[in-house]
Amino acid sequence: MRAGLVADGGSDLKMILSYVDSLPTGDEKGLFYALDLGGTNFRVLRVQLGGKESRVVDTEFEQVAIPQELMHSTTEELFDFIASELARFAAKESARFRWPQGRKGEIGFTFSFPVRQTSIDSGIFIKWTKGFAVSGTAGKDVVECLKEAMKRQGLDMRVSALVNDAVGTLAGAHYWDEDVVVAVILGTGTNACYIERMDAIAKMGKLADGSGKTIINTEWGAFSTGLPLTVFDRDMDSESINPGEQIFEKTISGMYLGEIVRRVLLKMAKASALFGYPVPDKLSTPFVLRTPDLCAMQQDDSKDLKEVETILSNTIGATYSTLGARKIVVEVCDTIVKRGGRLAGAGIVGILQKMERDSKGLVFGKRTVVAMDGGLYEHYPQYRNYLKEAVTELLGFEISRNVIIEHTKDGSGIGAALLAASNSKHV
Ligand code: ADP
């Protein structure tokens, strides 16, 4: 983390500046929009803010699945889709949301792929992750891409903040609870950010003067130094669209856990006819087994594991499985999920320890909150438990009593709208 704060390229951890140096205070008022492009889904949201007294008066949101072909399309096609969905949403009449008279609508744009932020409302695209392979984005300002697409759609709105989803989650959660200092996303991909002192960020040079604070986006999914990997991890990585990259993400996030389990089961099926003979064809298809399937199998508490049987048949085409084989499958799921949850927990402890050392007692000596979001954390109880167990184990019981790991549902959308508000050109 420190090496990444000294210089760009100094570490696997990019430690990206968010340019968020004033977090929402609660005084923000008016109607604001948020767009969230981050993985399997795209979300549009509007929020009516009422200032200190009434805070979030109302919110409305829509979620649209990103068509598979757009994940491999051109930049223009992807951004046209986003802008057209926003235009459709903004055009929807609603008595609950008052359009600001004579003002342009303002948007917080959550874009959850690595971007080199250049100001609060601009950032240069670095690379696609999480299975996206859109052409022509490298080196472009993603806010400009959005603005051009909005123009093509005839939509006149202003992009006031470009926000990473972890940063949005931190801003949103901090709005309700000032003890929130770290935010972690565990969904299709993963990321974490935290509040850092400006004077600890050597790569900011002169700008780092003063005692202010800002949010650092670690892009921890890219971490790889020293991670112990198995043959299954290495094979999955070398066959991925970004070999050698995002190794931490590939061991802990939702996109990959199912695929790692599939690879283990394939090897077992070949070596010991786990699902009889011949090995089910579909078991050789990458990504047929998804993380929600693992989760569903782990929730099966029936004696004969009927649900596991059904899922194995529906996903990998294992029409024959003995009870013994089904138990082994559940154990494999548990092993991979345990490793993922514990590594994620270790990552959180790493960030907290860095903050503690720099602040000398100001993190562990008081209530400290880590805001969590993402479908994997939200829906997978075993993963959640392993993560929390690892945090307690690494910090020790006493310290971990002060560290609260809290799920904040859809904090990132509201957070982006709040950051659009606190960076509004009208205030
Ligand atoms: P994003 O795709 O933007 O990260 P989410 O935060 O909703 O969106 O995360 C979706 C991911 O969460 C899925 O790709 C999947 O890996 C994981 N997930 C969703 N539902 C479940 C579930 N029931 N059990 C385990 N993981 C799940």
In this prediction, residue 397 carries a pLDDT of: 94
pTM score over 0.90 = yes
Banded model confidence at residue 177, pLDDT cuts 50, 70, 90: very high
Banded model confidence at residue 99, pLDDT cuts 50, 70, 90: low
How far is the centre of ligand 1, averaged over its atoms, from the C-alpha of 5 (Å)? 30
Q: Say if the ipTM goes beyond 0.95.
A: yes
In this prediction, residue 94 carries a pLDDT of: 78
How far is the centre of ligand 1, averaged over its atoms, from the C-alpha of 298 (Å)? 16
Give the Cα separation of 163 and 44 in Å (integer): 14
The torsion angles phi and psi of 122, rounded to 5 degrees, stand at -155, 155
Atom of ligand 1 nearest to the CA of 112: 3
Q: Which fold has domain 18-176+410-422?
A: Nucleotidyltransferase; domain 5 (3.30.420)
**Mutation test of ligand 1: which of 41, 128, 188 has the most ligand atoms closer than 8 Å to its C-beta?**
188
Active site residue 165: yes
How far is the centre of ligand 1, averaged over its atoms, from the C-alpha of 255 (Å)? 8
Per-residue tokens: 102: 């004579």
Q: What is the β-pairing status of strands 29-37 and 41-50?
A: antiparallel
Banded model confidence at residue 104, pLDDT cuts 50, 70, 90: confident
- Give 325-344 pLDDT, tens digit per residue: 999 999 999 999 999 999 99
- Residue of 14, 130, 147, 354 marked catalytic: 130
Buried b (16+ CB within 10 A) or exposed e, 164-199: bbbbbbbbbbbbeeeebbbbbbbbbbbbbbbbbbbe
Atom of ligand 1 nearest to the CA of 39: 2
In the chain, what percentage of residues exceed pLDDT 70? Answer: 97
Residue nearest atom 25 of ligand 1, based on CA coordinates: 292
- Residue of 165, 233, 237, 373 marked catalytic: 165
Average pLDDT over residues 193-206: 90
Per-residue DSSP letters for 198-221? GGG-GGGGGGG-SS-EEEEE--GG
Count the neighbouring beta carbons within 10 Å of the beta carbon of residue 116. Answer: 15
- Give 51-65 pLDDT, tens digit per residue: 988 999 999 999 999
Residue ranges of domains in the chain = 18-176+410-422
- Give 384-394 pLDDT, tens digit per residue: 999 999 999 99
The torsion angles phi and psi of 175, rounded to 5 degrees, stand at -60, -35
153 close to 143: Cβ distance less than 8 angstroms: no
Q: Given a cut of 70, is residue 210 above it in pLDDT?
A: no
Q: Closest Cα partner for 107 from 129, 125, 82?
A: 82
Residues with CB under 6 A from ligand 1: 38-41, 187-188, 254-255, 291-292, 295, 374-376, 379-380
Q: Given a cut of 60, is residue 78 above it in pLDDT?
A: yes
Active site residue 130: yes
In this prediction, residue 208 carries a pLDDT of: 64
**Residues with Cβ within 8 Å of residue 376, at least 6 apart in sequence:** 186, 187, 188, 253, 254, 257, 291, 383
Residue nearest atom 24 of ligand 1, based on CA coordinates: 292
The residue type at 46 = R
